[in-house]
Amino acid sequence: MNAREEYENWRQDPCFDEETRKELEAIAGDPKEIEERFYKNLEFGTAGLRGIIGAGTNRMNRYTVRKATQGLANYILGKGAQDKGVAIAFDSRHMSPEFAEETALTLAANGVKAYMFESLRPTPELSFAVRFLGCTAGVNITASHNPAEYNGYKVYWEDGAQITPPHDKGIMEEVNRIEAISQAKTMTRAEAEKAGLLTVIGKEVDDAYIEAIKKEVRHPELIKKYGKELKIVYTPLHGTGNLPVRRILAELGFENVTVVPEQELPDGDFPTVPYPNPEADEAFVLGLALAEKTGADLVLATDPDADRLGVRVRDSKGVYHTLTGNMSGSLLADYEIGQKKALGVLGDDAVLISTIVSTNMAAAIAKDYGIRFVEVLTGFKYIGQQILSFETEGKGSYAFGFEESYGCLIGEYARDKDAVSASMALAEAAAYYRDKGMTLWDAMVALYDRLGYYVEDVVSITMPGKEGIENIGRMMASLRENPPMAFGDLKVTAIRDYRKDCIRDFVTQTERTTGLPSSDVLYFELEEEAWVCVRPSGTEPKIKLYCGARGRDEADAAARLAALKEALKSLA
C-alpha cells in the first residue's frame, strides 16, 4: 500500500481506537503530513525504535510499540526463554508509562513474563535490573535527549547491554515478519496480573542498584573528609535522575547538593530547555546561575533517562569551565584507572574501551598506564559487548569505558552508560583532588600537560523527513565514490570504510580490514594526529561530522581544530 492507502486503512480499521482515528481525521487535508506519517514503517533498528509520537506507521504510538513487542516476544519464544521474563522501564516523556504497559501486556499475552517498574527509572537501572532479575531481555521506553515530541523503545539482552549481533538482526527479522498491527497480541492488565505474567518492581531493585554503585567508590575516607564542604549543583532536566543521583550522593556523604528547582520535577514538555541535552549550553543556564549564587564547585546535568552526564567545573579563580564528554570521560578514565593501579586492583589484563568517534586521548591514557586499548563502533552497546567477551573468553578485564556522547560506565554492575555513577565518581574525584590542593579543572589541565592537548568537536546537519534520509544517503555515497584526500592543509593518510570493512593506508600503500561490524561510517586519518569521521546519526535525522586534533598547548590545539572545522564546510 502507498501512504494514502495506509492512511485510509488506519482511519477505517476497527482495531485502531477512536482517539487515533480522530487524530488522523484532523490531517485529512494535509497530504504532506499524511506522506510523512505513512510513507514507511517506523524502522526497528539495531537498538529498537525512535520517532515522533503520533498516529501512523512512521510514528511512535501504542500500535507500533505492540508490533515491535510482538516481534521481540516471537524471538524470545523461539529461544525458549519466556520464563526468564523481560524487565521494562520508562522515562518522563509523554506516553512513556502507556508504552511501557503496552509492552508488558503484549509480552504477557504471548506467555512472556514482564517485570515493569512502578514509576520512571534511569536507563542504567534497567540495564542493571535485567542482570539482577536474571531476565532474558529488557525494554526501556525513552528517547534519551531528543526533543519533547519524540519517544523511543530500546531493547536489551540478558547481559544487560543493548542488543548486538546476532540478537539485533534476529529480533529485527521477527518484527519485519509482522505485516499487520492486528497480528500483535495483547490482553488486559487484570488478566496479565491474574496469570502471574506481570509483576511490578521498584524498591528492591532500587536498593540493589544503589548498593552496586557504592561498591565502585575508591576513597570513602576522602568523601567523609570533604563531603560536607564540596558544593554541588545538580539538575535532572525534568527527567529520571533526580531521585537516584541525590540518593547516592547523600548516602555517601555529599551533604551540600542543591537541585535546580525549576528543573527538578519530571515533565515531558521539558519547559526550561529547547531540548533536554546536557551537551547543550542551554541546559546549564539555570544551573550555572544557581552555581554562581552558591559558589558551587561542580555543576552536573543528566539527560531525561540519566545515562548521559554534562559537567561544568569551577577553577580556583571562580570561573566555570565546560567539560565535554571527551573531557569528562578522559578525566574519569585517568582517575579510575590511576586509583585502581595505586590500590593494587588493576588487573594485569586491564582494558580501556572507547569508540571510534571519541578522543584519541583515550588511547594515550591506556598507553600511559601500560594497559590495552580497544576501540569499538559508536554506541555503548559495543562497549558492553566487549565486557561480555572478556567474561566468556576469560581474556581481558574491564577497567573503564566511555564515549564522546557524555557517557561512561564505572564497574560492571550494568552494561550501559550511567550518569548516576558518573555523578558519584566525579564528586569523589573532586574530593580526591581537593585533598591535593587541586580543583577538577586543575586535574584536567594536568592531564593535558601530561599527555598532550587533544581537542574534538562535532558538526551535526539536520535533514528531517523522507527527503532528508535520501539526502544523507546521497552524501555518504558521494564521499565513498570521491573521498577528499585532504582537509585544509592536512593530507589524508588513511581512510577507514566501516561499511566495506576496509582500511586504505596511503602511507604504506596497503589495505586491511577494520575488524569491526559493518556500519555506515567513514573515518579519515590525517597528518599530525588529526582525524575526521562522518556518520549518519542512529537516533536522529542528522548526519554527523566529527573531528579531532592534538596541539602543543591549548591555543595551538584550538587553532588546529578551528582550521579543521573550517575545512569540514566543504562536505556540507
| Other CB atoms within 10 A of residue 98 CB | 15
Measured CA to CA, the distance from residue 372 to residue 540 in angstroms comes to 33
Catalytic residues: 144
HSE at residue 230, side-chain half, CA atoms within 13 A, is 32
Residues 58, 51 contacting (CB under 8 angstroms): yes
User: Which strands, in side-by-side order, build the sheet including 350-355?
Assistant: 372-376, 350-355, 397-403, 407-409
φ, ψ of residue 129 to 5 degrees: the values are -60, -40
Measured CA to CA, the distance from residue 448 to residue 406 in angstroms comes to 19
Q: Indicate the burial class of 465 (C-beta count within 10 angstroms; 0-12, 13-18, 19 or more).
A: middle
- Give me the sign of the Cα torsion angle 458, 461, 466, 471: negative
Write the secondary structure of 262-296 as one string of H (helix), E (strand) and C (coil). Answer: HHCCCCCCCCCCCCCCCCCHHHHHHHHHHHHHHCC
Q: What secondary structure does DSSP assign to 119-187, as a single string?
A: S---HHHHHHHHHHTT-SEEEEE--TTS-TTEEEEEEEETTSSBP-TTHHHHHHHHHHH--SGGGS---
Residues 195, 108 contacting (CB under 8 angstroms): yes
Q: What secondary structure does DSSP assign to 297-350, as a single string?
A: SEEEEE-TTS--EEEEEE-TTS-EEEE-HHHHHHHHHHHHHHHHHHTT---TTE
* Residue pointed to by grid coordinates 510514528: 59
Grid cell of 54 as nine digits: 503520533
